[in-house]
Amino acid sequence: MKKSFDGFTAYALVFMVFLYAPVVLLPLFSFNDNTFAIFPLKGFTLKHYVAMADNRSMLDALGNSLMVGVIASVTATALGLVAAITLSRKKLPASNFLLGTIMLPLIVPSIIFAVAFLVLMVKVLGINLSLWTIMIAHIFLCLPFSVMVLMARLEGLDRSLEEASYDLGEGSWGTFRRVTLPLVMPAVISSLLMCFVTSFDEFVMAFFLSGTQPTLPVFLYGQLRFPNKLPSVLALGSLILIASTILAVTAELLRRRGGAQLSATDV
Protein backbone atom coordinates (compact mmCIF):
# COMPACT_ATOMS: atom_id res chain seq x y z
CA MET A 1 0.00 0.00 0.00
CA LYS A 2 2.85 2.35 0.81
CA LYS A 3 4.47 1.87 -2.61
CA SER A 4 1.15 2.47 -4.32
CA PHE A 5 0.61 5.64 -2.31
CA ASP A 6 4.13 6.90 -3.03
CA GLY A 7 3.69 6.23 -6.74
CA PHE A 8 0.40 8.10 -6.81
CA THR A 9 1.93 11.01 -4.91
CA ALA A 10 4.83 11.21 -7.36
CA TYR A 11 2.42 11.15 -10.29
CA ALA A 12 0.32 13.91 -8.71
CA LEU A 13 3.39 16.07 -8.13
CA VAL A 14 4.64 15.61 -11.72
CA PHE A 15 1.16 16.41 -13.03
CA MET A 16 0.90 19.56 -10.91
CA VAL A 17 4.35 20.75 -12.05
CA PHE A 18 3.47 20.09 -15.69
CA LEU A 19 0.16 21.92 -15.32
CA TYR A 20 1.25 24.96 -13.33
CA ALA A 21 4.87 25.52 -14.30
CA PRO A 22 3.88 27.87 -17.16
CA VAL A 23 1.71 29.82 -14.74
CA VAL A 24 4.61 30.25 -12.32
CA LEU A 25 6.82 31.50 -15.16
CA LEU A 26 4.34 34.27 -15.98
CA PRO A 27 5.14 36.55 -12.99
CA LEU A 28 8.81 35.55 -13.19
CA PHE A 29 9.21 36.90 -16.73
CA SER A 30 7.11 39.96 -15.91
CA PHE A 31 9.99 41.17 -13.70
CA ASN A 32 12.68 40.23 -16.23
CA ASP A 33 14.58 43.13 -17.79
CA ASN A 34 14.18 41.78 -21.31
CA THR A 35 11.70 42.17 -24.13
CA PHE A 36 11.59 38.42 -24.74
CA ALA A 37 10.45 35.79 -22.26
CA ILE A 38 13.58 33.65 -22.39
CA PHE A 39 16.29 32.37 -20.08
CA PRO A 40 18.68 33.44 -18.74
CA LEU A 41 17.07 36.33 -16.91
CA LYS A 42 18.83 39.66 -17.45
CA GLY A 43 17.79 41.40 -14.26
CA PHE A 44 14.96 42.66 -12.07
CA THR A 45 12.79 45.54 -13.27
CA LEU A 46 9.37 47.08 -12.75
CA LYS A 47 9.29 48.96 -16.04
CA HIS A 48 6.90 46.45 -17.59
CA TYR A 49 4.32 47.27 -14.92
CA VAL A 50 4.84 50.97 -15.57
CA ALA A 51 4.33 50.39 -19.31
CA MET A 52 1.17 48.42 -18.52
CA ALA A 53 -0.21 51.31 -16.48
CA ASP A 54 0.49 53.70 -19.37
CA ASN A 55 -1.22 51.48 -21.96
CA ARG A 56 -4.64 53.14 -22.25
CA SER A 57 -5.98 50.64 -24.80
CA MET A 58 -5.15 47.73 -22.51
CA LEU A 59 -6.78 49.40 -19.51
CA ASP A 60 -9.89 50.14 -21.57
CA ALA A 61 -10.09 46.47 -22.55
CA LEU A 62 -9.67 45.53 -18.88
CA GLY A 63 -12.52 47.88 -17.98
CA ASN A 64 -14.69 46.27 -20.67
CA SER A 65 -14.02 42.81 -19.26
CA LEU A 66 -14.75 43.94 -15.71
CA MET A 67 -18.05 45.56 -16.74
CA VAL A 68 -19.13 42.55 -18.80
CA GLY A 69 -18.10 40.17 -16.03
CA VAL A 70 -19.99 42.01 -13.29
CA ILE A 71 -23.21 42.40 -15.28
CA ALA A 72 -23.08 38.84 -16.64
CA SER A 73 -22.38 37.30 -13.23
CA VAL A 74 -25.13 39.25 -11.44
CA THR A 75 -27.72 38.52 -14.17
CA ALA A 76 -26.75 34.86 -14.50
CA THR A 77 -26.90 34.37 -10.73
CA ALA A 78 -30.33 36.03 -10.50
CA LEU A 79 -31.70 33.89 -13.33
CA GLY A 80 -29.92 30.83 -11.96
CA LEU A 81 -31.50 31.32 -8.54
CA VAL A 82 -34.98 31.46 -10.06
CA ALA A 83 -34.25 28.40 -12.19
CA ALA A 84 -32.71 26.47 -9.28
CA ILE A 85 -35.68 27.18 -6.99
CA THR A 86 -38.12 26.20 -9.72
CA LEU A 87 -36.33 22.98 -10.61
CA SER A 88 -35.66 21.91 -7.02
CA ARG A 89 -38.96 22.97 -5.44
CA LYS A 90 -41.51 22.49 -8.24
CA LYS A 91 -42.21 19.08 -9.72
CA LEU A 92 -42.46 20.13 -13.33
CA PRO A 93 -43.23 17.47 -15.98
CA ALA A 94 -40.30 18.62 -18.13
CA SER A 95 -37.85 19.48 -15.35
CA ASN A 96 -35.18 17.05 -16.60
CA PHE A 97 -35.47 18.45 -20.12
CA LEU A 98 -35.22 22.03 -18.85
CA LEU A 99 -32.19 21.20 -16.71
CA GLY A 100 -30.52 19.46 -19.64
CA THR A 101 -31.19 22.47 -21.87
CA ILE A 102 -29.65 24.83 -19.31
CA MET A 103 -26.55 22.62 -19.10
CA LEU A 104 -25.96 22.56 -22.87
CA PRO A 105 -23.19 25.23 -22.77
CA LEU A 106 -21.12 22.80 -20.69
CA ILE A 107 -21.27 20.17 -23.45
CA VAL A 108 -21.52 21.97 -26.78
CA PRO A 109 -18.28 23.70 -27.92
CA SER A 110 -18.29 27.45 -27.40
CA ILE A 111 -17.53 28.16 -31.05
CA ILE A 112 -20.88 26.60 -32.05
CA PHE A 113 -22.80 28.96 -29.79
CA ALA A 114 -20.56 31.87 -30.83
CA VAL A 115 -21.45 31.42 -34.50
CA ALA A 116 -25.12 30.91 -33.60
CA PHE A 117 -25.20 34.14 -31.56
CA LEU A 118 -23.40 36.00 -34.33
CA VAL A 119 -25.97 34.93 -36.93
CA LEU A 120 -28.86 35.65 -34.56
CA MET A 121 -27.64 39.11 -33.55
CA VAL A 122 -26.49 40.39 -36.92
CA LYS A 123 -28.56 38.60 -39.54
CA VAL A 124 -31.84 37.94 -37.72
CA LEU A 125 -32.20 40.75 -35.16
CA GLY A 126 -30.02 43.34 -36.89
CA ILE A 127 -28.19 44.28 -33.68
CA ASN A 128 -24.78 45.91 -33.94
CA LEU A 129 -21.99 44.01 -32.20
CA SER A 130 -20.96 45.63 -28.91
CA LEU A 131 -20.29 44.83 -25.29
CA TRP A 132 -24.01 44.16 -24.84
CA THR A 133 -23.94 41.29 -27.30
CA ILE A 134 -21.01 39.83 -25.39
CA MET A 135 -22.95 40.20 -22.12
CA ILE A 136 -25.92 38.28 -23.50
CA ALA A 137 -23.69 35.45 -24.68
CA HIS A 138 -21.79 35.35 -21.37
CA ILE A 139 -25.03 35.22 -19.37
CA PHE A 140 -26.01 32.19 -21.45
CA LEU A 141 -22.57 30.66 -20.83
CA CYS A 142 -22.53 31.34 -17.07
CA LEU A 143 -26.08 30.19 -16.35
CA PRO A 144 -25.32 26.45 -16.00
CA PHE A 145 -22.51 27.14 -13.52
CA SER A 146 -24.88 29.23 -11.42
CA VAL A 147 -27.67 26.65 -11.54
CA MET A 148 -25.33 23.83 -10.51
CA VAL A 149 -24.00 25.68 -7.47
CA LEU A 150 -27.40 26.97 -6.33
CA MET A 151 -29.27 23.68 -6.87
CA ALA A 152 -26.67 21.82 -4.82
CA ARG A 153 -27.25 24.26 -1.99
CA LEU A 154 -31.05 24.26 -2.23
CA GLU A 155 -31.30 20.48 -2.29
CA GLY A 156 -29.36 20.34 0.97
CA LEU A 157 -31.64 22.77 2.80
CA ASP A 158 -34.04 21.59 5.46
CA ARG A 159 -37.49 22.10 3.93
CA SER A 160 -39.06 22.19 7.41
CA LEU A 161 -37.63 25.69 7.92
CA GLU A 162 -39.58 27.02 4.96
CA GLU A 163 -42.68 25.07 5.99
CA ALA A 164 -42.45 26.58 9.47
CA SER A 165 -42.34 30.04 7.91
CA TYR A 166 -45.52 29.28 5.93
CA ASP A 167 -47.21 27.94 9.08
CA LEU A 168 -46.42 31.19 10.87
CA GLY A 169 -48.32 33.11 8.20
CA GLU A 170 -45.45 34.28 6.02
CA GLY A 171 -46.02 34.36 2.27
CA SER A 172 -43.81 33.03 -0.52
CA TRP A 173 -41.83 36.24 -0.96
CA GLY A 174 -41.39 36.74 2.78
CA THR A 175 -40.22 33.14 3.20
CA PHE A 176 -37.74 33.55 0.40
CA ARG A 177 -36.41 36.85 1.77
CA ARG A 178 -36.27 35.87 5.45
CA VAL A 179 -35.46 32.15 5.29
CA THR A 180 -34.35 30.81 1.91
CA LEU A 181 -32.11 33.65 0.72
CA PRO A 182 -30.01 33.90 3.93
CA LEU A 183 -29.45 30.14 3.85
CA VAL A 184 -28.37 30.08 0.20
CA MET A 185 -26.33 33.29 0.40
CA PRO A 186 -22.94 31.46 0.50
CA ALA A 187 -23.92 29.69 -2.73
CA VAL A 188 -25.09 32.99 -4.25
CA ILE A 189 -21.73 34.60 -3.53
CA SER A 190 -19.91 31.54 -4.82
CA SER A 191 -22.02 31.65 -7.99
CA LEU A 192 -21.21 35.33 -8.50
CA LEU A 193 -17.49 34.71 -8.20
CA MET A 194 -17.55 31.64 -10.43
CA CYS A 195 -19.61 33.36 -13.12
CA PHE A 196 -17.39 36.43 -13.02
CA VAL A 197 -14.21 34.38 -13.49
CA THR A 198 -15.87 32.41 -16.31
CA SER A 199 -16.98 35.57 -18.10
CA PHE A 200 -13.71 37.41 -17.54
CA ASP A 201 -11.71 34.53 -19.00
CA GLU A 202 -13.97 33.72 -21.97
CA PHE A 203 -12.42 34.29 -25.40
CA VAL A 204 -14.31 32.53 -28.20
CA MET A 205 -17.71 34.24 -27.85
CA ALA A 206 -16.07 37.59 -27.11
CA PHE A 207 -13.92 37.23 -30.23
CA PHE A 208 -16.98 36.71 -32.45
CA LEU A 209 -19.26 39.27 -30.78
CA SER A 210 -16.96 42.09 -29.61
CA GLY A 211 -17.26 44.47 -32.54
CA THR A 212 -15.03 47.53 -31.95
CA GLN A 213 -14.99 47.12 -28.14
CA PRO A 214 -12.76 44.15 -27.32
CA THR A 215 -12.64 42.46 -23.96
CA LEU A 216 -9.26 41.85 -22.38
CA PRO A 217 -8.71 38.28 -23.72
CA VAL A 218 -9.44 39.46 -27.28
CA PHE A 219 -7.17 42.49 -26.86
CA LEU A 220 -4.31 40.39 -25.47
CA TYR A 221 -4.65 37.94 -28.33
CA GLY A 222 -4.13 40.81 -30.76
CA GLN A 223 -1.15 42.14 -28.80
CA LEU A 224 0.74 38.84 -28.98
CA ARG A 225 1.58 39.61 -32.62
CA PHE A 226 3.91 42.38 -31.44
CA PRO A 227 6.95 41.14 -29.45
CA ASN A 228 7.55 44.52 -27.82
CA LYS A 229 4.03 44.41 -26.30
CA LEU A 230 4.60 41.05 -24.61
CA PRO A 231 6.25 42.31 -21.36
CA SER A 232 3.29 44.54 -20.43
CA VAL A 233 0.95 41.66 -21.25
CA LEU A 234 2.91 39.45 -18.85
CA ALA A 235 2.69 42.13 -16.16
CA LEU A 236 -1.07 42.45 -16.48
CA GLY A 237 -1.41 38.68 -16.68
CA SER A 238 0.47 38.31 -13.40
CA LEU A 239 -1.89 40.72 -11.63
CA ILE A 240 -4.93 38.96 -13.08
CA LEU A 241 -3.50 35.60 -12.01
CA ILE A 242 -3.25 36.77 -8.42
CA ALA A 243 -6.74 38.28 -8.45
CA SER A 244 -8.27 35.18 -10.09
CA THR A 245 -6.61 32.90 -7.55
CA ILE A 246 -8.02 34.97 -4.70
CA LEU A 247 -11.51 34.87 -6.23
CA ALA A 248 -11.36 31.11 -6.84
CA VAL A 249 -10.14 30.38 -3.30
CA THR A 250 -12.81 32.68 -1.84
CA ALA A 251 -15.54 30.92 -3.83
CA GLU A 252 -14.35 27.51 -2.63
CA LEU A 253 -14.14 28.65 1.01
CA LEU A 254 -17.67 30.04 0.83
CA ARG A 255 -18.91 26.80 -0.72
CA ARG A 256 -17.32 24.75 2.06
CA ARG A 257 -18.64 27.09 4.73
CA GLY A 258 -22.13 26.68 3.29
CA GLY A 259 -21.77 22.89 3.41
CA ALA A 260 -20.54 23.04 7.00
CA GLN A 261 -23.48 25.25 7.99
CA LEU A 262 -25.90 22.81 6.41
CA SER A 263 -24.32 19.92 8.32
CA ALA A 264 -24.57 21.87 11.57
CA THR A 265 -28.21 22.67 10.87
CA ASP A 266 -29.00 19.02 10.21
CA VAL A 267 -27.40 18.05 13.51
Determine, yes or no, domain membership for 2.
no
178 vs 50: which has the higher pLDDT = 50
CB atoms within 10 A of CB 190: 27
**Among 173, 11, 2, residue whose Cα is nearest residue 85:** 173
**CA atoms of 236 and 56, how far apart (whole Å):** 13
Instruction: Using pLDDT thresholds of 50, 70 and 90, give the confidence band for residue 80.
Output: very high
CA 151 to chain centre: 17
**CA atoms of 175 and 24, how far apart (whole Å):** 48
CA distances from 205 to 127, 173, 201 (A): 16, 36, 11
Determine, yes or no, domain membership for 35.
no
CA distances from 229 to 22, 55, 64, 164, 219 (A): 19, 10, 20, 61, 11
CA 97 to chain centre: 25
3-state secondary structure of 170: coil
pLDDT digits (tens, 9 = 90+) for 81-113: 999 988 887 777 777 888 888 888 888 888 999
Determine, yes or no, domain membership for 260.
yes
Alpha-carbon dihedral 226, 230, 231, 235, rounded to 10 degrees: 140
Which pLDDT belongs to residue 133?
92
Determine, yes or no, domain membership for 228.
yes
Determine, yes or no, domain membership for 235.
yes
For residue 181, what are the domain limits?
A: 51-266
Domain count, the chain: 1
CATH of the domain at 183: 1.10.3720.10
Determine, yes or no, domain membership for 112.
yes
227 vs 142: which has the higher pLDDT = 142
Determine, yes or no, domain membership for 81.
yes
Determine, yes or no, domain membership for 152.
yes
Backbone angles phi, psi at 32, to 5 degrees: -80, 135
Instruction: Using pLDDT thresholds of 50, 70 and 90, give the confidence band for residue 125.
Output: confident
pLDDT digits (tens, 9 = 90+) for 10-66: 888 888 888 887 788 888 888 887 777 777 777 788 888 888 888 888 889 989 999
H or E element: which one contains 156?
Answer: none
Give the chain's mean pLDDT. Answer: 83
Instruction: Using pLDDT thresholds of 50, 70 and 90, give the confidence band for residue 1.
Output: very low
